[in-house]
């Protein structure tokens, strides 16, 4: 089945519009608050003038290693939120919001396991590039480009992993990865174009918000208050975007998974 991106977007926006109040609550708890916590409590360090690439890499490494205690629970909460939205969006049994959230957390281990399996394979490819780099740098560059292209392709083919887990309740990570790979066959380019359009739209909105926020904060002045306001304003679009991405993934799944899935454009229970 070929993906109709226009139809998928219309279905996704229709469900978001019909269930705005519920999705606002879920987005606030599962997407906005975790992002806000990271922005407020683990401010990203800024490279200073004269730093070498190695210094910048070490700065980033120290930052992420120090913040892992917060990043891991934040990732778990956000993944559970995405799976809950997908469950509410496509499950024909019409679960309550509480049941959908419960199923979301139930699917987190399977999702993390699937992503770790994919990361392990990529790590093996990166190790191959490192080995080749010591023997032949030109060959290593060619392999690196090929590996990067293959990684993008695999990301697109496995993009339905959260929907497979949430909607079809396939909790075996190997089976879930295989199912996503199977239903996205022949649609990688269409999924790429669809997601690129969403990302470009989000980027344009964020650029506009950042510019306006910079002007507003310049008038208010610096300080802790300005930092908190900036963190809140910049986190809201990300939470909204996550809801739309989850809804779009659900709409794509409903098309590609074949008969047996129906759009739920009514209000959630």
pLDDT tens per residue, range 218-241: 676 666 677 777 778 778 888 999
The pTM (predicted TM-score) of the whole model is 0.83
In this predicted structure, what is the pLDDT of residue 60? 72
What CA–CA distance (Å, rounded) separates 27 from 33? Answer: 8
pLDDT tens readout for residues 133-164: 777 778 778 888 888 899 999 999 999 999 99
Distance CA 191, CA 133 (A): 33
Residue position matching structure tokens 């990684």: 151
Whether the pLDDT of residue 98 is over 90: the answer is: no
- Whether the predicted pLDDT of 101 surpasses 80: yes
Range 139-147, long-range pairs (CB < 8 A, 24+ positions): 147/122
């Amino acid at each position: 089945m070929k993906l109709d991106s226009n139809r998928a977007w219309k279905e996704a926006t229709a469900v978001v519009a019909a269930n705005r109040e519920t999705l606002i609550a879920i987005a606030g708890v599962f997407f906005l608050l975790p992002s806000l916590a990271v922005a407020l409590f683990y401010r990203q360090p800024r490279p200073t003038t004269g730093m070498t690439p190695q210094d910048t890499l070490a700065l980033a490494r120290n930052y992420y290693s120090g913040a892992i205690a917060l990043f891991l629970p934040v990732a778990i909460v956000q993944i559970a939120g995405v799976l809950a939205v997908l469950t509410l969006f496509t499950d024909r049994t019409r679960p309550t919001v509480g049941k959908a959230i419960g199923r979301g957390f139930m699917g987190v281990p399977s999702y993390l396991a699937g992503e770790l399996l994919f990361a392990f394979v990529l790590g093996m490819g990166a190790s191959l590039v490192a080995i080749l780099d010591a023997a032949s740098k030109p060959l290593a560059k060619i392999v690196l480009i090929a590996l990067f292209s293959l990684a993008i392709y695999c990301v697109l083919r496995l993009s339905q992993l959260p929907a497979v887990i949430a909607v079809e309740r396939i909790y075996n990570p190997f089976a879930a990865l295989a199912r996503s790979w199977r239903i996205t066959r022949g649609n990688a380019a269409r999924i790429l174009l669809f997601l690129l359009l969403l990302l470009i739209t989000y980027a344009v909105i964020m650029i506009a918000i950042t510019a306006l926020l910079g002007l507003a904060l310049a008038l208010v002045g610096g300080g802790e208050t300005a930092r908190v306001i900036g963190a809140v304003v910049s986190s809201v679009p990300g939470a909204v975007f996550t809801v739309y991405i989850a809804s779009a993934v659900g709409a794509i799944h409903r098309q590609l998974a074949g008969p047996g899935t129906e759009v739920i454009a009514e209000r959630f229970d």
